[in-house]
Structure 1
Amino acid sequence: MSVVIADLGTSCRADLGPDHPPGPERAVEPQPGRNPGLEGALHAATTRLVRSVDALADRAYAEPSLLPGWSRAHVVAHLALNAEALARAVRGVLAAEEVAMYDSDESRDADIEDLAGSSPTELRSRLLGSTTVLAEALGALPCDALETEIPRTPDRAQVFVAGQVMAMRWHEVEIHHADLDAGYHRTDWPDSFRCVLLGRHAERVPATLVATDLGRTWQAGPGTPIVSGTAADLGWWLTGRGDGEGLTTDGTLPRIGAS
């Protein structure tokens, strides 16, 4: 799904591709051009994330995050490894070589578990380093390479394009920053991200969505319930987090798996 981010001062589309554990991952259509507004949004989101991680006390890394079964260390490890994987894939595009994000789903999960067991110092360093190498790789990506396909794994079961990487990473950073439960909440998401998030996930649920704070509606088919609430509460629910707290409906609230 593509959504236009008018809030970011550009007519380019931001496509949010696969990699949002622990739920299903999906590929989406190409992003047609560079997006300076999206670059700024990702940079700001990354800066906020790094500051939150740096501010965590060492003992806090082993404490639970908001993701079932994952500590804060797991979330930081995933964010670092996700950036490294995206950077590796983009560097492959720059070298005119097809390089998958991950060797396999199993190796991805094992790497997260391994890195989550590292010291807080190592996790902080790995996260900062990964965001730097990804920014450098994206900065070197020419416009004529943006539609180059990148496989998520070597079997090419899921494929995205290089022009989607920046928006994919923005999604990862904003969602998992809130998952950290370290002082940054869904209510802190920028309006531009909330709009993109709802646009992307609206089709997951058979309901008309009304974001009361944005004045926006995502219309579903006739006979479906109307679900209303703030964009942050709708987005949290649409990604399978929480049980719909803060939302109202004229029917039964659909159940959604995590993404």
Structure 2
Amino acid sequence: MADAQLLELLDSGTRRLVRSVDGLTDEQWSEPSLLPGWTRAHVVAHLTLNAEALGAALEGVHEGRAVPMYASDEARDAEIVALAEQEPSTIRDRFYASSTVLGEWVEELADNLAGATVERTPGGRTFTAGQVGTMRTREVEIHHADLGLDYTAADWPPAFAALVLATRAADHPPGPGPVAHAVDLDQRFVFGDGSGPTVSGPGSALAWWVTGRGPGEGLTSDDGQVPRMEPW
């Protein structure tokens, strides 16, 4: 079974996101999000299709079938555009349904199936079934903030900010990289060899920064420069 803290992060984050999506007016759906070129409808469409794809993959794992998330990156992108053009009520209903089903699959995944391999696209990048809960939690929280509504990275639970920082640090390529000092969490996260500047600030602001969003508002660096991070 999935870790209890992770399940709580996913469940509470999804409930907050559902409330925000439920509160969108028809006009707000077509307004720009914080993601270049995407409206809020595109963001919710992406979240919907992501949940459907991950849910189908976990169902396949449960049944002993290999089910890639997407047929191809091009098909994924086209599906997002197509769904974003639908009526808000259509997107909203699919978002609710897919989020509920995926949450159930994550919670019910047996320990002996957690190591099963899932392909993002046929022959492409792989991950394990046990990683899906973490992956979806990141999608939910980060893209909730990307909607550009009242919910921002400052509202992220401390445990989620720490999760983002730890994941990004682990994924950083070898070589030069900064050290992120989350002063409120009393934790340091080393990127690469840690030979770059030490960037300090609240964990949520650091987590937003390491996703490549923004220049590092609210952060300080021991060499006076907050480096840009690659988008995630």
**The residue matched to 1:47 in structure 2 has which SS?**
helix
Counterpart of 1:249 (choices 193, 214, 221) is 221
**The residue matched to 1:44 in structure 2 has which SS?**
helix
The match for 1:35 is 3
1:226 aligned to 2:193?
no
**The residue matched to 1:49 in structure 2 has which SS?**
helix
Higher fraction of helix: 2
Report the Cα distance in structure 2 between the residues aligned to 1:111 and 1:189, rounded to whole angstroms. 29
Contact 2:2 2:107 in 1 (8 A): no
Q: Deviations over 1:207-249 (max 9, x none)?
A: 1111111111124546421111111111111101011111111
Contact 2:52 2:98 in 1 (8 A): yes
1:161 aligned to 2:128?
yes
The Cα shift of 1:255 comes to 1.9
The match for 2:62 is 94
Matched letter for residue 211 of structure 1: A
Runs of 4 or more above 4 Å deviation: none
The match for 1:141 is 109
Please give the TM-score of this superposition, normalised by the length of structure 2.
Answer: 0.93
Counterpart of 2:137 (choices 170, 187, 192) is 170
Matched letter for residue 227 of structure 2: P
**The residue matched to 2:181 in structure 1 has which SS?**
strand
Q: 1:55 to 1:224 in 2, by over 3 A?
A: same
Contact 2:177 2:190 in 1 (8 A): no
The match for 1:109 is 77
Contact 1:80 1:131 in 2 (8 A): yes
Matched letter for residue 217 of structure 1: R
Report the Cα distance in structure 2 between the residues aligned to 1:131 and 1:224, rounded to whole angstroms. 39
The Cα shift of 1:123 comes to 1.2
The match for 1:83 is 51
Q: Deviations over 1:111-168 (max 9, x none)?
A: 000011111111111110111221232344222111110011111x211111111111
Contact 1:56 1:182 in 2 (8 A): no
1:62 aligned to 2:30?
yes
Unaligned stretches of 5+ residues in structure 2: none
CA RMSD of aligned residues (A): 1.4
Contact 2:179 2:194 in 1 (8 A): no
The match for 1:214 is 185
Counterpart of 1:50 (choices 8, 15, 18) is 18
Report the Cα distance in structure 2 between the residues aligned to 1:140 and 1:223, rounded to whole angstroms. 42
**The residue matched to 1:228 in structure 2 has which SS?**
strand
Report the Cα distance in structure 2 between the residues aligned to 1:247 and 1:135, rounded to whole angstroms. 34
Please give the TM-score of this superposition, normalised by the length of structure 1.
Answer: 0.83
